Structure 1
Amino acid sequence: MNKELHYQITDKQNGLTVKAVLSSLGFSRHEISRFKFSAYQMYLNGEPVMVNQVVHTTDVLVIEELNLETYPLHPSVMRPDILYEDEDIVIVDKPAGIPSHPSHLHLTDDMGTILRDYYQDEHFVIRPIGRLDKDVSGIMIYAKNQLSAARLTAQRKDGILQKHYYAIVEGQLEDKATLIFSLLKEDGQLTQSFNQGGKQCITEYEVMKRYQTECLIEVHLQTGRTHQIRAGFAGIGHPLCGDTLYGGSTHWIKRPALHCARIEFLQPFTKAKIVLESPLPEDMKRK
């Protein structure tokens, strides 16, 4: 889905270059560098323009993102559970069992392709902002254009985009704590090695409900590493229920008991705060 932005040059921007104007509007150096390539076209007062062009008051700068590539469409097999949508983003509640994006084993049944087929838009580019493992449920963001994707990715890096998860772990944890550990990805292994070097992870949790042999926790990540929740709790002796990859039991649930329940971020252009929640799924409810 193409994005077109219109800006009228102000007195304050008079005499600046297009590059300086873009910087003043909040575009990153990486975004501006992309304007030199075919992914974008820029026009000043209706004429093509380069980033070193000087602008004047009342000039109109138009930025158009192009997507000329086409992708195969399939009959829509399911209606995605859309929690929020505007011209820049679509946010869905992903069921467990569906991958976040295409892979060599899942070329047509991932959530990104399901969205493309739902829109019946052969130009829809799948741009997930972060990911959830196939068997993990919950909130997923997809950017509809590259400018939105770049800004949302920057929000993740800067800690503006925040996610909260529900998980059910085996055993009993203290009421709340912050876990600090490291995870290392070994070549050829699906799992992450706990405290064997690698990248630092910071995980906050609070117990929400206790069961006889498990507890429901809310988890907030200060860092975002692959399998940070799954490998982290397994590493301290409390694997997620159903998570066979890290030693969890499947006696009452057959997939990792993990759900992305809340997300907070800013709309990439208007900066309006967006907060969305998804309730605990049925297969994670315990009495």
Structure 2
Amino acid sequence: MNRLLPMNNFTIQFVAQTPQLLREAIAAYGVSKRALTAIKFQGGKIMVNDQEQNVRYALQVGDCVSIEFPREQRSESLTPTYAPLAIQYEDDSLLIVNKPAHQSTIPSKEHPTNSLANDICGYLEQQGLAATAHIVTRLDRDTSGLVCVAKHRHMHHLMSELQKKGEIQRHYEAIVIGEVASQTIEAPIARSTTSIIERMVDSKGKYARTDVTLIGKGETAGVAYSHVALFLYTGRTHQIRVHMSYIGHTLLGDDLYGGDCTLINRQALHCAKLAFIHPITGAPINITIDLPQDMQKIVQQQ
């Protein structure tokens, strides 16, 4: 069952610059066919000069267009919670939040409550926004760092299109076992044949590429490690964890892939930077966040 959010609807407004059909102007703003269907059948409106029109209407230069999206529905699994959020960026359409380790991005059977998505729903409700949590860039439960969230379905669609084109840059930092050289890893990733959770490098898998750059190296408590920066060209499940394990440099704390847990009790992986061009404003968005304390404690001994 879904809960209909009883708050204000999201609206796009613009002035027609050229004579064209209304549907052509709407498509130019990136409104998806699915969203148009929702507008038509679920309570939205398309207005021209304060009069409701259909998409076949012929716009003239100077016509004022307003697209009102229907109120969004929130799944019952996304019960709002009200924990503080570490917000790094916010505008009318986007949130970028620093997720701590040991918190799920979305609810799961193992962790049905207190996910980042639950907290975001609570935050948006407190702001009086008709929105649910549209997660754009998801992180594993024990990975810390930046998560991008759209406040409404239209922005989620626009950001998803950026992702498909590889135009959301995701920069990570990790601490891995041993001394690793800077390199590019290109190795296809597939589901493990022995686990529903694990992934593995397999020729039948999907293409995956990770760039690895050495930042520093050290040794503590008898464990030699490397501090590396990683850039993802693709976004396969567990991509960094699988690729680093594949080349013999498993992440510290990553017990799923055989990592040493002496120095840290979770995979030492952090999304340190998100960069993209805002699909509505056209402004460059470049957000960075420092390593969390558990990883800093290790690398500071270099």
Whether 1:172 aligns to 2:172 is no
Whether 1:131 aligns to 2:142 is no
Select which of 39, 48, 53 maps to 1:49. Answer: 53
Partner residue in 2 for 1:107: 112
| Deviation for aligned residue 1:265 | 1.1
- Matching residue's letter, 1:177: Q
- Aligned to 2:121, the other structure's residue is in SS state helix
TM-score after normalising by structure 2: 0.87
Q: How does 1:52-67 map to 2 (within 5 A)?
A: 52-67=56-71
- Matching residue's letter, 1:232: H
- Aligned to 1:279, the other structure's residue is in SS state coil
Structure 2: tracts of 5 or more residues without a match: 1-7
Give CA deviations for 1:178-229 in whole Å, capped at 9, x if unaligned. Answer: 1010111147521002134210111001000111311000000111111000
| Deviation for aligned residue 1:53 | 1.6
Partner residue in 1 for 2:4: none
Give CA deviations for 1:103-143 in whole Å, capped at 9, x if unaligned. Answer: 23333300111122234358431100020000000000110
Mapped contact 2:10–2:130 kept (Cα < 8 A): no
- Matching residue's letter, 1:179: I
TM-score after normalising by structure 1: 0.91
Give CA deviations for 1:135-173 in whole Å, capped at 9, x if unaligned. Answer: 000000110011111111111111221010001110111
Select which of 242, 257, 270 maps to 2:281. Answer: 270
* Counterpart-to-counterpart distance in 2, 1:145 and 1:29: 16
Give CA deviations for 1:227-246 in whole Å, capped at 9, x if unaligned. Answer: 00001111111110000010
* Counterpart-to-counterpart distance in 2, 1:256 and 1:54: 56
Q: How does 1:176-191 map to 2 (within 5 A)?
A: 176-186=182-192, 189-191=196-198
* Counterpart-to-counterpart distance in 2, 1:198 and 1:231: 12
Whether 1:155 aligns to 2:162 is yes
- Aligned to 1:156, the other structure's residue is in SS state helix
Identity between Structure 1 and Structure 2 (%): 28
- Matching residue's letter, 2:92: E
| Deviation for aligned residue 1:40 | 3.8
| Deviation for aligned residue 1:9 | 1.6
Select which of 105, 120, 123 maps to 1:118. Answer: 123
Q: How does 1:220-239 map to 2 (within 5 A)?
A: 220-239=231-250
* Counterpart-to-counterpart distance in 1, 2:208 and 2:200: 12
- Aligned to 2:183, the other structure's residue is in SS state strand
Whether 1:38 aligns to 2:45 is no
